[in-house]
Amino acid sequence: MTRNEVRNCSRHALLGKAIRALLLSTMLAAPVVSAGADEIKPLRLCADPTNLPFSSDDPGKPGLYLEIGQAVAQKLGRPVSTTWYKSYFGKRTVRETLLSKQCDAMVGLPLVDDFMGPAVIFSKPIAHEGYALIGAKDRKLTGIDDLRGLRVAVQYQSTPQNLLALRDEIRKVTVLSPDEGMTALEQGKVDVAFIWAPVAGWLNKTAYNDKYQLVPTEGAGLLWETAIGFAKASGALRDEVDGVLPSLQSDISALFAKYGVPNGAAIKFGQANQAAQAKEPVTVGQVTSDKPVQTAAAGGGDVKAGRELFNGTCAHCHGPDAVQAERKIDLRLLKKRYADDMESTYWKTVHDGRPAKGMPAWKDVYSDDELKNVYSYLLTVQGASD
């Protein structure tokens, strides 16, 4: 989950194809209301259709957060309806769904002081989310010193990576996702994985038959509380939800266990370095660099806007400012790799994605103008890795 903000977005850019498509689809999906005055309105939840263990549009496994939302709605005596929205964009997602009245609540927002300012209000905390150590069940994992001399998988640009960067006696192996971390562990390429716990726990349960132990860690940027978020105007609903949450504690715990997501006691890890002490949890895709870039048009688009979109959305996988050690997804090599076909390859890949390889399709998410801005930005970083 990225929590990056695309800063300084013009209203213009925000009102792209994505929102129009979203508005249209929710309008079409909305039930025909034959409004009786005391008709019970569904509790509308915004959720990502492909974000297990948290949410999915597969009715067989709706995911932890959706099921918590369903349990809350049931207590309130209301049915649930879901507005699907891809959550690659973090705060932008919240702005375009919850704050645009597309839904009443979002389960699982990070309960940090200034997540979105006063625009978003929260229920009582419902869970903890963060990083965990994953290793063989007989391995001693009680603190950072137990990692001495071991090979440890850390996610690119994550708090664990920052934290271990200072420890020469621990061999870091950078991975791009929790899935990749679990694979490295399973293949014996690392001894321990220090990765995002919810996904690791879910994979441990569903793909690895509970083979590994999971030890949640605690410390700056390693663990934070999550809650149910509402728009500021929904104070009454928030209070109602807070009223039923205590009676749902055991159901909620059972749901955590069902999805293999740890929510228990965590081991304390020492202070992380500067970057990891950011108030907001540092997650994969956190963009820290604020290097000025040229803003003159190249390739016909707005380089600055393109860079912002890139860092808000694409950097999650391709690295902030396209700095990426993994050659296969190093977009600074596009020119070298494709020469005259660079532009056509870009458009084909970005429009249709390469779903089997993990590259999403963006044509229904961003307008061609927006994607052209990204292309113009990418032109400015070609060859930068050589």
**Smaller CB separation from ligand HEC, 238 or 316:** 316
Region of residue 324 (phi > 0: left; psi between -120 and 50: alpha; otherwise: beta): beta
Tokens representing 131 are: 């990083």
**Non-local CB neighbours of 386 within 8 Å, separated by 6+ positions:** 336
State the minimum distance, in angstroms, from the CB of residue 138 to ligand HEC: 34
Element (H, E) at 201: helix 197-206
Nearest CA to 240 out of 104, 83, 38, 101 is that of 104
Query: Is residue 382 a contact point for ligand HEC (CB under 6 A)?
Result: no
Letter string b/e over residues 274-283, b meaning 16 or more CB atoms within 10 A of that residue's CB: ebbebebbbb
Among 362, 372, 376, 380, binds ligand HEC (CB under 6 A): 362
Among 105, 334, 379, 381, binds ligand HEC (CB under 6 A): 334
Distance CA 289, CA 62 (A): 37
Q: Which stretch binds ligand HEC (CB under 6 A): 24-32, 207-215, 245-253, 349-357?
A: 349-357
Query: Is residue 1 a contact point for ligand HEC (CB under 6 A)?
Result: no
State the minimum distance, in angstroms, from the CB of residue 177 to ligand HEC: 8
Q: Which stretch binds ligand HEC (CB under 6 A): 29-37, 118-126, 215-223, 327-335?
A: 327-335
- In this structure, what DSSP letter does residue 52 have? T
Query: Is residue 318 a contact point for ligand HEC (CB under 6 A)?
Result: yes
Among 49, 79, 143, 360, binds ligand HEC (CB under 6 A): 360
Q: Is 353 helix (H, G, I), strand (E, B) or coil?
A: coil
Cis peptide before 262 (omega within 30 of 0): no
Query: Is residue 377 a contact point for ligand HEC (CB under 6 A)?
Result: no
Among 328, 340, 355, 386, binds ligand HEC (CB under 6 A): 328
**Smaller CB separation from ligand HEC, 101 or 354:** 354
Task: Give the Cα-Cα-Cα angle 242, 278, 263 (nearest 5 degrees).
Answer: 45
Tokens representing 370 are: 């927006």
Among 354, 361, 364, 384, binds ligand HEC (CB under 6 A): 354
Please give the C-alpha separations between residue 259 and each of 87, 90, 92, 141, in angstroms, as whole numbers.
Answer: 20, 22, 27, 23
Query: Is residue 92 a contact point for ligand HEC (CB under 6 A)?
Result: no
Query: Is residue 358 a contact point for ligand HEC (CB under 6 A)?
Result: yes
State the minimum distance, in angstroms, from the CB of residue 88 to ligand HEC: 6
Query: Is residue 316 a contact point for ligand HEC (CB under 6 A)?
Result: yes
Query: Is residue 359 a contact point for ligand HEC (CB under 6 A)?
Result: yes
Distance CA 339, CA 333 (A): 10
Q: Is 47 helix (H, G, I), strand (E, B) or coil?
A: strand
Distance CA 72, CA 78 (A): 9
Distance CA 306, CA 312 (A): 10
Q: What sign does the CA torsion over 82, 85, 87, 93 have?
A: negative
**Smaller CB separation from ligand HEC, 94 or 314:** 314
Query: Is residue 357 a contact point for ligand HEC (CB under 6 A)?
Result: yes
Among 106, 331, 379, 381, binds ligand HEC (CB under 6 A): 331
Q: Is 252 helix (H, G, I), strand (E, B) or coil?
A: helix
Q: How many residues does the chain have?
A: 386
Applying CB under 6 A, what is the total number of residues that bind ligand HEC? 21
Distance CA 43, CA 181 (A): 37
One symbol per residue from 71 to 90: x for binding ligand HEC (CB under 6 A), - otherwise; what is it?
-----------------x--
**Smaller CB separation from ligand HEC, 126 or 175:** 175
Q: Which stretch binds ligand HEC (CB under 6 A): 4-12, 26-34, 131-139, 309-317?
A: 309-317
Query: Is residue 291 a contact point for ligand HEC (CB under 6 A)?
Result: no
Query: Is residue 124 a contact point for ligand HEC (CB under 6 A)?
Result: no
Query: Is residue 119 a contact point for ligand HEC (CB under 6 A)?
Result: no
Residues in touch with ligand HEC (CB under 6 A)? 88, 313-314, 316-318, 328-329, 331, 334, 337, 346, 349-350, 354, 357-360, 362, 374
